[in-house]
Chains A and B, each alone.
Chain A
Amino acid sequence: MKHGHSSAHDSAVSHVTGQSQYVDDRQMLKNELLVGYVTAKVACGKIQNIDFSKALKVPGVVCVLTASDLAHNNWGTIVQDQPLLAQSQVEYFDEPVAIVAAESEQALSLAKKMILVEIQALPAVLTIQEAVNKKMFLSVAEPFIKGDFNQAMAVAPHKLKGELSLGGQEHFYMENQAAVVYSSENGHFEVHSSTQHPTETQHVVAKALGIEFHKVTCIVKRLGGGFGGKESQAAPMAAMAALVAQKTGRAARMVLTKDEDMKITGKRHPFWHRYEIGFDENGKIQAARFELYADGGAYTDLSPSILERAMFHVDGAYYLPNVEIYAACCKTNTYSNTAFRGFGGPQGTFLIESLLEDIAVFLKKDSFDIRTLNSYQGDRNLTPYGQKIEQNPLPEIFSKLRKSSDYDSRRQEILKFNSKDKFKLRGLSMTATKFGIAFTARFLNQGNALVNLHVDGTAQVSTGAVEMGQGVNTKICQLVAEVFGIDSKKISVMTTSTEKNANTSPTAASSGADINGAAAVKAAQAIRQRLARLAEMYFAGQTFDALNEYQLSQSAENLSHFIFKEGQVHCTRTNQKIIFSDLLKKAHLNRISLSEYAHFKTEGLGFDKKTITGTPFKYFTFGAAVTEVEIDRFTGESKVLRTDILMDLGRSLNPAIDRGQTTGAFVQGLGWVLLEKLYHNTSGELLSHSPTTYKIPNVQDTPRIFNVDFIEAYKAEGVGIGAKAVGEPPFLLGISCWTAVKNALAGLESSRRPDFSSPATGEVILFEIERLKSESSL
């Protein structure tokens, strides 16, 4: 099955029949233990005492373990500063302090209630602003500086200055964090984890138990969603279950409830931006100065990289001639914020898109025009970090989308509507995405794959990629099928496991298919090369018998006249053919390997933060969206009426999967900017910790009209597969929902411009309407 074919997800049938296995679907073993934990009920404090003597007396309770039971407590992808179990210092509300293992759910919940944790509370820092004032930073980035901001600002005819707050976001993967650990012979452990990063999970488990890496195998069949939330933060649950398995010699299972999961795991980073921007009469930006403050939470986790990606994306799709970008990640007493689809990119791009809307309001111009004027184009193509935008489809995307979305006539209708309607207010806005593809930590841009052909003409492929719904396995399957010219039904992508693919990168940064697919193709091509050489000898009439076998020559001769297609191998020069599986049998009898392991690295990456030189990204994925929203003037409730999305995905491997990624990411983005509100009380306790109170988009919240289209302007460069990464880039298009709200509120014709935070919940919008109304009547 080839590029461009929308073959079904390789798990589609098992998904719809309920046969797909997830961690908690594993049958319970007779001796298996359930593992839970108790948490601190303060956001900051010193642990005085943990008394679990009563808990141990509950029938069915097997053990209670604390920090001192771990060989190595601290973990962390970048900095090892996060304890698996709080040792003496508590840094966030509901931080785990002790784990309990029991034979039944009832015993577990009873025991948890009987553990007394005494903590001396200390003053907690709960907001970004407070952390900034106290200079509590987990990391401070090297600034990006291009051109001369001060000089350009001094001469700019118009200036805006202000700040913008963006809320966090819960991943809300449907499968909560889960791990089952089996202790096996000779001190080995088999870890089944719902993790995007099997290698890191393996390492964290091994260190926690004080054993070497080779004794831990981490196995991942699939995830019921990840979105970044299981990139680093799946490891602690695996480590806690493993600790129980180690101490008891029994199987141990830790499956969080949604409430538990939401309370202890990190989320998308809230940001607080400060900006100063100068522009001319037409709305062309001349100077910009940005300060980005992220809420990292209690520990470092992936925050420095996320902060950097926010800086890399604060230009959005727009050219900033003179710019200074400063950024710092704050330490606060909340759960440790982590990767989430877009990885800081959305928080960066949000700022510039908001400002473009402001410029339009300020100059009383149409915001689409302002965006077209400012977008990267021609030789206005140098980013603030020195990488040039070479293959730039933005002008094409903008003009096509403006037409296909019927932007101009709808703009007129909206103006009319807003001047008449007593109940509703409408807004229309376009935003864009220019998402840099590659891990900005260069060493992560590598992958490996193992391809095993079987003599019946089928293949099993293993890579480090984790399937979490994004269809990476289907894409890898298609790629390998293309190399061998066989039906993708003859190929199975196997369970991800650190014993087959070690030292892998997380499945993240939209790169799963890029790097793992490329490695699989490389392995498959190596086998194909051997097979072509064998076919050459066979077609030439060579035979083998008890005394002679085929000897493959090592020559690097091009064998492109051997075509692998439709289950056959065909030599176009001699017009001879052999059935693929027959050729495989011959290969095996002649002791020619039908297996190959390959390693792939993305070439040409390297970026020096100090000098701001080099190439952080292999390529960019571009797109834009036009969204129309409607607001209830009396309640502030909003509704997305229509969204039109246009993206350039290069030579799409599987358009149906890419479409699903696009609609899924967009709606997730919509949720982030309109609906999803993390609500904490003044003690720092998260109160919106389940779907009753934390509202992700429902089917009714999707755009009433939803048009999604792709163009193929530029292939992806240098990753071999030609298709562009799609997992994260469309998430940023959700921002158009928020700017459309801003656009709608500008329709109130207040004397001042709309200025509000994200998410634009009904409450935020209604207060903003009030503010604008009261100021206009002054």
Chain B
Amino acid sequence: MKMSRDHIILSINGRQHEIRGEHAFMNLSEYLRYQAGLAGTKIVCAEGDCGACSVLVAKTSDPIRDQPVKFKSINSCIQPVFNLDGCIVVTVEALASAKELSAVQQSMVDQQGAQCGYCTPGICISLSYLKEQTGGTAEEIIPSKAKNFLTGNLCRCTGYEPIIKAACGLVDVKESSLSKRFLTASQVSTLKGATQTDVYFGFNRPGLEPIEVWIPSSKESLFGMLGKGRLISGATDLGVQRNKGRLGESRFISLQKIAELKQAVVTNGLLRIGAGLTWDQVQDFLQDDFSDFADSINLFASPQIKHIGTLAGNIINASPIADGVPFLLVNEAELLLLGSGGKERRVPISDFYQGYKKIGMASDEILWAVLLPKNKLKQRVYKVSQRKDLDIATINLAIAYELKEGVFSHLKLAFGGVAETSLRMTSIESLALGRKPDALFVADCAKAIDLALRPLSDVRGSSKYRMLLAKNLIQKWVVEIDLESQQNVNEANV
């Protein structure tokens, strides 16, 4: 066992902070506002859904594909400080240099992008991320693309129009990047050094049991700890549960510093998605082989959530409306679980979900990687939600299929949002084989849906609506197939 440290090391706006005890268990937003005197970062919802708390974070231990250390935006309101050991943080207060506003800030002033100002710090962070991320050319910053950088930020005052203009005002501005200012080689190497040590500490709470965290820096130290605390990846689920008082645990194991979890490789037609891959990285990785699903990730949460939340967390959280699960079900992915001591186990994802939020994983196991076999099937992914962007699905659907001479030779189909778990529709799968995708097929699917599904009514939609959607999505898909084949015929005729 290596020497362990008893505090968190973090750089905020160029200043190094050593954070101990109670303060390390605060959310970053609270630490910034109430301990570091940086009240520019706002807290509105404390659940990752508004973006007022956005900050830029560069993880110095992010070795995926040897990318350089980069800033990404995250929601500080659901991010415990302890989950950011060795990170470099930039808040709204540091965007301006000593003398002048940053280009983003100036553009926001020029375009009247701030009214009440409460969303503004978060907006400035998202626009700064846009600026860091793109070359700032006129093709890169057009309204439709700029909007994609702002889906994680709500503004109730402006109607967004002046903010989109402010984004477009960033075309071709020359300015030293935040990376140049804050990710200097010496800064990065100091903090990277910090990520090489294990961290363990806790603090006593009056009237409650003590709270503790382990932050292993290697696979070996992690294996020694499995089962002793709640695993925590991006905290986009756990952070919300913690804030809303729905998390009983008082011992946590942060997975942020385990380099092996970041593996993303393809071997013998098998994609191996390390459990540490964040959604933006997953999107990137799947672009070549599963482009439909990769594209559907555009409608997953927000940039801030995708920058830190993981596919693994999505799987383990086991929400019946998780966007990742139906896709994995229809492509017959397997989960690679590791037990304490490193014992491996492969479980088909179709056997993994046993009931509402009940999964086939032991308390001392960890999801290590998702194994996804490549295939040549056609893919479809549908998500219907109350609001198109940054919303949890009312219902989602993934389909993998193949047509040979106009009839189904293969079909796998899974819904989310219609039962206690994401659900493979085996009844539809079996009735489809050898049949044409036609009106009769749609009608039979509707019958199968009537028999199999009993969705709940809740805030995202009534049971009746979900039933109707389930049937209509099938119909929509069939109409799409029809249209595609017509197009193919037309092309062939040309």
Contact = CB atoms under 8 A, between A and B. Distances in A.
B287 interface: no
A60 interface: yes
B114 A9 contact: yes
Interface stretch (A184-192, A221-229, A238-246): A221-229
Given A8-B112, A423-B479, A16 B156 contact: no
Contacts of B205: 106
B118 A634 contact: no
B386 interface: yes
Interface in B101-132: 101, 104-105, 108-110, 112-121, 124
Interface string A17-29: 1111110110110
A11 to B, nearest CB: 6
Nearest to A467: B116
A698 B390 contact: yes
A12 B109 contact: yes
Contacts of B422: none
Contacts of A16: 92, 95, 101, 104-105, 108-109, 113-114, 120-121, 124
B116 A468 contact: yes
Q: Which of A15, A422, A763: most chain B CB closer than 10 A?
A: A15
Interface stretch (B2-10, B58-66, B310-318, B470-478): B470-478
Contact of B207 (A58, A668, A679): A58
Interface in B383-411: 384, 386-392, 394
Interface in A617-660: 634-635, 637, 639, 656-657, 659-660
A27 B37 CA distance: 8
Given A9-B114, A635-B384, A173 B156 contact: yes
Contacts of B83: none
Contacts of B476: 423, 634-635
Given A668-B159, A698-B387, A701-B387, A690 B41 contact: no
B207 A110 contact: yes
B116 A223 contact: yes
B389 A698 contact: yes
Interface in A167-218: 171-176
A675 B462 contact: no
Interface string A699-735: 1111010101000000000000000000000000000
B89 to A, nearest CB: 14
Q: Which of B93, B116, B150, B390 has the most CB of A within 10 A?
A: B116
B459 A688 contact: yes
B388 A700 contact: yes
Nearest to B153: A699
A482 B264 CA distance: 64
A679 B459 contact: yes
A761 interface: yes
Nearest to B476: A634
Contacts of B157: 174, 225, 469, 660, 664
Given A16-B105, A18-B39, A663-B158, A469 B388 contact: no
Contact of A257 (B46, B105, B120): B46
Interface string B32-47: 0110011111101111
B160 A702 contact: yes
Contacts of A419: none
Contacts of B372: none
Interface stretch (B161-169, B186-194, B334-342): B161-169
B379 interface: no
Interface centre among B109, B387, B390 (most CB of A within 10 A): B387
Contacts of A761: 386
A677 interface: yes
Interface string B150-186: 1101111111111110000000000000000000000
A696 interface: yes
A346 interface: no
B439 interface: no
Interface of B: 33-34, 37-42, 44-47, 49-50, 52, 91-93, 95-96, 101, 104-105, 108-110, 112-121, 124, 144, 147, 150-151, 153-164, 205-208, 240, 244-245, 384, 386-392, 394, 458-462, 464-465, 468-469, 472-473, 475-476, 479, 483
Given A223-B116, A637-B384, A675-B387, 13 more contacts: A6-B112, A16-B113, A173-B116, A222-B117, A635-B384, A657-B112, A667-B161, A668-B156, A679-B459, A699-B160, A700-B147, A702-B159, A762-B394
Interface of A: 6, 8-9, 11-22, 24-25, 27-28, 58-60, 106-107, 109-110, 171-176, 222-227, 257-259, 422-423, 468-471, 634-635, 637, 639, 656-657, 659-660, 662-668, 675, 677, 679, 687-688, 690-693, 695-702, 704, 706, 708, 761-763, 766-767, 770
24 contacts: A11-B117, A13-B101, A13-B105, A16-B105, A22-B118, A60-B206, A222-B117, A258-B46, A469-B157, A634-B472, A634-B475, A635-B472, A659-B112, A666-B159, A667-B159, A687-B458, A699-B150, A699-B163, A700-B388, A701-B389, A708-B161, A762-B386, A763-B465, A767-B464
